[in-house]
Amino acid sequence: MTSLAQTVSCIDGYDPDALHVDKARAAILACITPVSQAESVAVRDALGRVLAQEIVPAINVPSHDNSAMDGYAVRFSDLEKPLKEIGTALAGKPFSGKVGDGECVRVMTGAVMPAGTDTVVIQEVVKKEGGCIVVPPGQKRAQNVRYAGEDLQQGKPVLGNGKLLRPAELGLIASLGIGEVKVKRRLRVALFATGDELASIGTSLKDGEVYDSNRYTVHGMLSRLGVEIVDLGVVRDNPAKLEAAFRKASSADAIITTGGVSVGEADFIKQMMAKLGEVLFWKIAMRPGRPMAFGKIGNSYLFGLPGNPVAVMVTFYAFVRDALLHLSGRTDEAFPALQAVSAQNIRKVPGRTEYQRGVLFRERNQWQVRTTGQQGSGVLRSMSEANCFIVLEHERGNVQAGETVQVQLMEGLA
């Protein structure tokens, strides 16, 4: 088996001590093999799951040519003369006869196009004269008709393996009369927070302690991804306790830890990791979130995130989210970045990617963005006040007000 170290060494420009964000992302994705096991679920229960089969329509949708409007089904070549209304077709109640020269049929939206007709005239423009209708000029052949297979064509694959199932896909699958689909199995992700200074909710704070908030943000971020969560609580900075926690966590598909990867703390963790699996320790050229560990313990992928609360969230969104989506078998495109105009000067040094917390707002018909103010990696309030990240690229220097910057929306991402 290829080691992680071998896999990542093939990435051009890989430098564990000053790792470009894009290289770190590439390194992680290169090391991850998506899950392959699948299960069958009812369509309604498949929301948010990842398709594990190809959907090839066995029927056309719609199955018949039908009217897109309420009106009259006519023969386009007859339109000059008054047309005799010879019957009605409703959705689900077709007209059984054939429409001949000088005839028409009253149709409702969704009604099968009566035999012999090719065009629908909307009811609002038609003049009724006795049992006949008179159609004004200006109609187009084939107007207001929906054709069989216009939505889904029999035999033409419509959803691929790896597709995320959103509400639209559930409806689409149902429109084919399919009641059950194969989806990838759900990921199991274990998490724990490390730190001697961490107090749990329900206890009173002793001198120098902080309440553990990371486990709550990580739990929330994982919940949004729809994975099964195994919460292993707070683990003290003690080699034996940490080792036991890692062993327990390694039955999951992935392990997320917070804290303990900064330079001062990482040494004993490194030694222990070497016993348990293969873990790479990185210094990433980013802010916040410089130190991070990535590796494998047994079959479980480890993401050792920094301890600072904002760094936890930023590294999760920058690396872990995409990694877990890839692991879950999803094949969709990365979350898009948008462009906005910076409403202020922003200080930035070239040589690292910054994820400033921003507020995107619309003013004078233009999308603009400002920072939330204080950007310390311990100021979790900056995440709460933000609706986006302002992603300042690696090479970029100071930003002047009025310049365009990249933003990544939190809604949908988070």
Least CB distance to Mg ion at residue 29 (A): 28
Nearer to Mg ion, 196 or 228 (CB): 196
**Which of Mg ion, ligand AMP, none has residue 103 at its interface (CB below 5 to 8 Å by kind)?**
none
Contacting ligand AMP (CB under 6 A), which of 60, 67, 117, 258? 258
Instruction: Rule CB under 5 A: say whether 291 interacts with Mg ion.
Output: no
Kindly give the pairing relationship between strand 71-74 and strand 103-107. Answer: antiparallel
Nearer to ligand AMP, 295 or 329 (CB): 295
Estimate to the nearest angstrom the gap between the alpha carbon of 249 and the chain centroid: 26
Q: By three-state DSSP, how is residue 385 classified?
A: helix
- Interface mask toward ligand AMP for 215-254; x: CB under 6 A: x---------------------------------------
Instruction: Rule CB under 6 A: say whether 306 interacts with ligand AMP.
Output: yes
Alpha carbon distance 84, 104 (integer Å): 6
**Which residues 6+ apart lie within 8 Å of 274 measured at CB?**
none
Least CB distance to Mg ion at residue 269 (A): 10
**Which of ligand AMP, Mg ion, none has residue 212 at its interface (CB below 5 to 8 Å by kind)?**
ligand AMP
Instruction: Rule CB under 5 A: say whether 195 interacts with Mg ion.
Output: yes
Handedness of CA 202, 216, 51, 327 (dihedral sign): negative
Alpha carbon distance 135, 128 (integer Å): 9
Question: According to DSSP H, which parts of 176-238 are helical?
Answer: 214-224
Least CB distance to ligand AMP at residue 206 (A): 13
Q: Is 263 exposed, middle or buried (0-12, 13-18, 19+ CB in 10 A)?
A: exposed
Instruction: Rule CB under 6 A: say whether 308 interacts with ligand AMP.
Output: yes
Instruction: Rule CB under 6 A: say whether 212 interacts with ligand AMP.
Output: yes
Nearer to ligand AMP, 95 or 316 (CB): 316
Residue 335 near residue 243, CB atoms below 8 Å: no
**Which of ligand AMP, Mg ion, none has residue 309 at its interface (CB below 5 to 8 Å by kind)?**
ligand AMP
| Residue 197, token pair as written in the block | 């200074």
Instruction: Rule CB under 6 A: say whether 304 interacts with ligand AMP.
Output: no
**Which of Mg ion, ligand AMP, none has residue 308 at its interface (CB below 5 to 8 Å by kind)?**
ligand AMP
Residue 228: strand pairing partners: 188
Residue 50 near residue 165, CB atoms below 8 Å: yes
Residue 221 near residue 414, CB atoms below 8 Å: yes
Nearer to ligand AMP, 308 or 328 (CB): 308
Nearer to ligand AMP, 91 or 205 (CB): 205
Least CB distance to Mg ion at residue 21 (A): 23
- Which DSSP string do the residues of 223-275 spell out, in sequence order? HHTT-EEEEEEEE-S-HHHHHHHHHHHTTSSEEEEES--SHHHHHHHHHHHHH
Alpha carbon distance 183, 328 (integer Å): 10
Instruction: Rule CB under 5 A: say whether 259 interacts with Mg ion.
Output: yes
**Which of ligand AMP, Mg ion, none has residue 258 at its interface (CB below 5 to 8 Å by kind)?**
ligand AMP
Instruction: Rule CB under 5 A: say whether 295 interacts with Mg ion.
Output: no
* Residues between 185 and 204 with contacts to ligand AMP, criterion CB under 6 A: 193, 195, 197-198
Contacting ligand AMP (CB under 6 A), which of 116, 149, 260, 288? 260
Instruction: Rule CB under 6 A: say whether 259 interacts with ligand AMP.
Output: yes
Phi, psi dihedrals of residue 237, rounded to the nearest 5°: -75, 70
* Residues between 305 and 324 with contacts to Mg ion, criterion CB under 5 A: 307
Which residue in 340, 334, 329 sits closest to 318, CA to CA? Answer: 334
Residue 130 near residue 89, CB atoms below 8 Å: no
Residue span binding ligand AMP (CB under 6 A) among the ranges 2-10, 150-158, 205-213, 390-398: 205-213
Give residues in contact with Mg ion (CB under 5 A). Answer: 195, 259-260, 307
Give residues in contact with ligand AMP (CB under 6 A). Answer: 193, 195, 197-198, 210, 212-215, 258-260, 262, 265, 306-309
